[in-house]
């Protein structure tokens, strides 16, 4: 089902997406970071296989004109390559050397950037170590992402331009953790048509909604206090669309005006943590057109999926604008610290949709910035803000603070923040590229399968890595790709050893080093020498065949009647490796039979085993009981067996003493 487009225009109430009661109303070098090569130029680490001779080792080193710098306790060695030989070429040369167990670059190691913000330890959404009782790792991997870039603000070293994020919301209050990242010259109060956009006058009824959203996107990191946003440097545009003077808090027209303004003033990303209220599908084509036009200008539009715990795909009144079928919209569901889709009770939880909701991001109990509490104010007119209503006057906010909030309103700015980080690394990255990378680089979760387009939760680090280096172009950066050289967008990893099945020598067995010698070990169990099998009897052939991966998928069963070195015919080709197979014995008889089992492993290596010694295949025959035969010319031989052309008049019975070679003449009566 495609995303539903639009609809009838009307002045509609907007709903901010905070949990609880729904509130009516309001291959590149990372920019902004020193260049870090992925490995030390001209150096490799190498280890030889056990049994490799000194000549083999010396020849390998001489071929690269390499100097051995050190030998580690594991036997691995650190080499410096000869002049003019790069690491890639050296590894290519060593790849075909059977004496080498492994060789790889001398990868650089850099510390993960963990900010010193005083309350960062409470931000499970950025770094989840189980501090709230959740699952460690159920976060957006922000600390690893910050090692690549911390965003681009005005004058950030290494940045060609600041990245602008328009927070279309209730405004952004003046807060020490975000103020330096808010461009007040580009901010505007569309709700009250006030160019001053006084930060003191954030819409009271929203309780700091826009400021909380702004903190997730761009709270200043590593400043010793408070929290860290995804972008430590950025330029946020505080575009206020909610006011007490508008029915329901805001309107479609006001939102369109803000979106158009953001687009025309160079916004890279727009965050929309709100939905249209009472707007059944299709909904507000004028808003649809505005968002579409923004996309044409290169603006990524991130929208909250809604807090009604409904399926936006099938609902008669899905959440808009997130459900519009537009290429520049990224619709975001909310997850919790256990990587589950946020759900509190019917009607109170994250919306979802396999077609209309793109991915999940942390949205439950997320800590961020808030304005201070309301304090008393002088009479109306003494401050730069509109009154709540006749005679109520202005208001002032107390000391800024930090609190947790829950909702898809909190999930969306995580994605908006990562979109801004991607533009910080690549300012000219297209809308399609940014969206594709964010969706393809998610951590796949069972809780989001069939609930979102990507089936995963936002991963900031992997998104950046995908932009920086994605060798196989499968949408997963090499550093996050468990199969970096083979197109493998599903990232299937059956044995959870960190190597995707398409690149895994042992896809069914945990084997993180991926060492693989091949040559399956096969052992014939029966017949294994000395046995006697009788033609037409059923016997159970038995064997074992295993390899480093814990088993062999199929085997071939062969038989020689002329000794171990004789000619083998195939009894059973490519059968499952069950360890046994029933065989009805066939002739001719022999005393030099050998069974061979050939095993084939997943990499195509072969292994086989023969019976330890020859076994016998015999044919039983029958003889006549009595001393004469009847019929013209009939006669019996010395063993009372009927001669050729005779007809035995007595009952023929099986003679157990009949052995190879067969004593029965051809065509004699009773011979089997």
**What's the Cα-to-Cα distance from 540 to each of 524, 536, 585, 663, rounded to whole Å?**
12, 13, 10, 28
Q: Is 169 a catalytic residue?
A: yes
Q: With beta carbons less than 8 A apart as the criterion, state whether 597 and 555 touch.
A: yes
Query: How many alpha carbons lie under 13 Å from residue 644 in its C-beta half-sphere?
Result: 3
User: Which stretches within 149-230 are classed as H helix?
Assistant: 209-218
Q: With beta carbons less than 8 A apart as the criterion, state whether 290 and 320 touch.
A: no
299 is written with which tokens? 């603006």
Given the residues 33, 209, 212, 414, select the one marked as catalytic: 209
- The Cα 622–Cα 639 span in angstroms is 11
Q: With beta carbons less than 8 A apart as the criterion, state whether 162 and 154 touch.
A: yes
Q: With beta carbons less than 8 A apart as the criterion, state whether 239 and 395 touch.
A: no
215 is written with which tokens? 């903190």
Q: Is 209 a catalytic residue?
A: yes
**Residue 306 CA, distance from chain mean position:** 25
Phi, psi of 633 (to 5 degrees): 75, 10
- The Cα 357–Cα 351 span in angstroms is 8
55 exposure class (CB count in 10 Å sphere: 0-12, 13-18, 19+): exposed
Given the residues 290, 315, 350, 409, select the one marked as catalytic: 409
Place of tokens 């005779």: 646
Q: With beta carbons less than 8 A apart as the criterion, state whether 648 and 599 touch.
A: no
Given the residues 117, 169, 177, 192, select the one marked as catalytic: 169
Of 300, 265, 297, 286, nearest in space to 188 by CA: 265
DSSP 3-state of 87? helix
Phi, psi of 377 (to 5 degrees): -135, 160
Residues with catalytic annotation? 169, 209, 409
């Amino acid at each position: 089902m495609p995303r539903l487009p639009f609809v009838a225009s009307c002045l509609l109430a907007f709903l901010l997406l905070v949990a609880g009661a729904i509130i009516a109303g309001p291959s590149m070098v990372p920019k902004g970071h020193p260049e870090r090569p992925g490995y030390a130029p001209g150096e490799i680490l190498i280890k030889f296989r056990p049994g490799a001779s000194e000549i083999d080792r010396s020849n390998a080193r001489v071929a690269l004109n390499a100097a051995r710098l050190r030998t580690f306790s594991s036997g691995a060695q650190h080499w410096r390559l000869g002049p003019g030989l790069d690491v890639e070429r050296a590894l290519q040369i060593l790849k075909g050397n059977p004496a080498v167990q492994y060789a790889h670059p001398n990868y650089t190691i850099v510390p993960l950037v963990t900010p010193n913000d005083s309350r960062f330890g409470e931000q499970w959404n950025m770094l989840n170590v189980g501090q709230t009782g959740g699952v460690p790792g159920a976060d957006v991997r922000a600390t690893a992402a910050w090692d690549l870039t911390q965003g681009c603000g005005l004058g950030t070293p290494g940045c060609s331009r600041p990245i602008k994020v328009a927070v279309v919301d209730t405004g952004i209050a003046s807060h020490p953790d975000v103020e330096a990242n808010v461009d007040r010259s580009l901010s505007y109060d569309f709700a009250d048509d006030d160019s001053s956009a006084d930060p003191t006058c954030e819409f009271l009824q929203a309780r700091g909604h826009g400021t909380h959203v702004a903190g997730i996107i761009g709270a200043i990191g590593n400043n010793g206090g408070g929290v860290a946003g995804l972008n430590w440097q950025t330029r946020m545009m505080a575009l206020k669309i909610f006011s007490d003077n508008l029915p329901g808090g805001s309107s479609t027209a006001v939102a369109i005006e803000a979106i158009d303004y953001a687009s025309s003033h160079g916004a890279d990303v727009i965050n929309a943590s709100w939905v249209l209220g009472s707007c059944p599908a299709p909904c507000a084509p004028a808003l649809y057109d505005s968002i579409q036009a923004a996309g044409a200008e290169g603006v990524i539009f991130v929208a909250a999926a809604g807090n009604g715990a409904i399926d936006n795909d099938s609902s008669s009144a899905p959440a808009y604008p997130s459900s519009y079928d537009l290429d520049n919209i990224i619709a975001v569901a909310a997850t919790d610290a256990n990587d589950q889709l946020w759900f509190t009770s019917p009607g109170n939880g994250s919306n979802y949709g396999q077609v209309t909701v793109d991915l999940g991001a942390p949205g439950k109990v997320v800590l961020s910035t808030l304005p201070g509490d309301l304090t008393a104010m002088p009479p109306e007119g003494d401050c730069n803000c509109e009154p709540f209503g006749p005679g109520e006057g202005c208001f002032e906010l107390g000391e800024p603070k930090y609190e947790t909030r829950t909702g898809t309103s909190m999930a969306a700015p995580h994605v908006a923040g990562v979109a801004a980080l991607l533009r910080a690394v690549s300012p000219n990255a297209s809308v399609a590229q940014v969206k594709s990378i964010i969706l393809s680089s998610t951590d796949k979760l069972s809780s989001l399968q069939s609930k979102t387009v990507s089936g995963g939760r936002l991963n900031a680090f992997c998104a950046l890595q995908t932009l920086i280096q994605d060798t196989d172009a499968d949408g997963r950066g090499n550093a996050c790709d468990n199969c970096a050289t083979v197109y493998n967008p599903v990232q299937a990893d059956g044995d959870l050893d960190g190597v995707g099945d398409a690149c895994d020598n042992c896809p069914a067995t945990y084997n993180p080093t991926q060492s693989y010698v091949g040559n399956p070990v096969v052992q014939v169990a029966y017949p294994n020498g000395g046995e006697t099998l009788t033609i037409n009897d059923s016997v159970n052939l038995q064997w074992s065949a295993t390899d480093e991966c814990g088993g062999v998928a199929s085997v071939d069963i062969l038989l020689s009647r002329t000794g171990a070195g004789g000619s083998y015919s195939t009894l059973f080709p490519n059968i499952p490796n069950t360890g046994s197979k029933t065989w009805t014995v066939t002739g001719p008889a022999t005393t030099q039979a050998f069974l061979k089992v050939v095993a084939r492993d997943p990499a195509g290596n072969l292994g086989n085993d023969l019976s330890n010694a020859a076994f016998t295949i015999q044919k039983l025959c029958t003889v006549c009981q009595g001393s004469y035969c009847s019929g013209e010319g009939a006669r019996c031989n010395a063993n009372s067996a009927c001669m050729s052309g005779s007809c035995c008049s007595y009952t023929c019975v099986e003679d157990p003493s009949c052995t190879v070679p067969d004593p029965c003449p051809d065509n004699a009566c009773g011979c089997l």
